[in-house]
Amino acid sequence: MDSWEWNKIAGAVLGTLIFVMVIRIASESIFEVEPPAKPGYVVEGVEETASTTSAAPVEEAMPDWGTVLASADVAKGHDISHKCEQCHDLSKGGPNKIGPNLWGVVAAPRGEGRNGFDFSSAMKAKGGTWTYDELFKFLKSPQGYIQGTKMSFAGLRSASDRINLIAYLRTNADSPAPIPPPNPKAAAPAPSQSGTPAAPGGPSATPPAGSSTKPATPPAATPQGGPPKKS
pLDDT tens figures, 104-137: 999 999 988 888 899 999 999 999 999 999 999 9
Chain centre to alpha carbon of residue 76: 19
What are the C-alpha distances in Å from 156 to residues 49, 58, 89, 161, 222? Answer: 17, 15, 19, 7, 93
Nearest-CA neighbor of 74 among 174, 178, 169?
169
Contacts of 115 by beta carbon, 8 Å cutoff, 6+ apart? 95, 96, 100, 101
Confidence bin at 39 (pLDDT 50/70/90): low
C-alpha span between 119 and 144 (Å, rounded):
17
Please determine, for residue 100, whether its predicted confidence score (pLDDT) is greater than 60. yes
For residues 120 and 37, the model is more confident at: 120
**Is 0.95 surpassed by the pTM of this model?**
no
Alpha-carbon separation of residue 7 from 11, 20, 21, 203 (angstroms): 6, 20, 21, 118
Instruction: Output the pLDDT for position 26.
Output: 80
Q: Residues 69, 74, 75, CA angle at the centre, nearest 5°?
A: 160
- Position with higher pLDDT, 10 vs 44: 10
The pLDDT value given to residue 24: 82
For the structural domain made of 65-171, what CATH number should be given?
1.10.760.10
Q: 93 or 198: whose pLDDT is higher?
A: 93
Residue pair 101/114 in contact by the 8 Å Cβ criterion:
yes
> Is the pLDDT at 54 greater than 60, yes or no?
no
- Residues 57-88 pLDDT 10s: 567 899 999 999 999 999 999 999 999 998 99
12 — pLDDT class (breaks 50, 70, 90): confident
Contact call for residues 197 and 129 (beta carbons, < 8 A): no
Whether the Cβ atoms of residue 110 and residue 130 lie closer than 8 Å to each other: yes
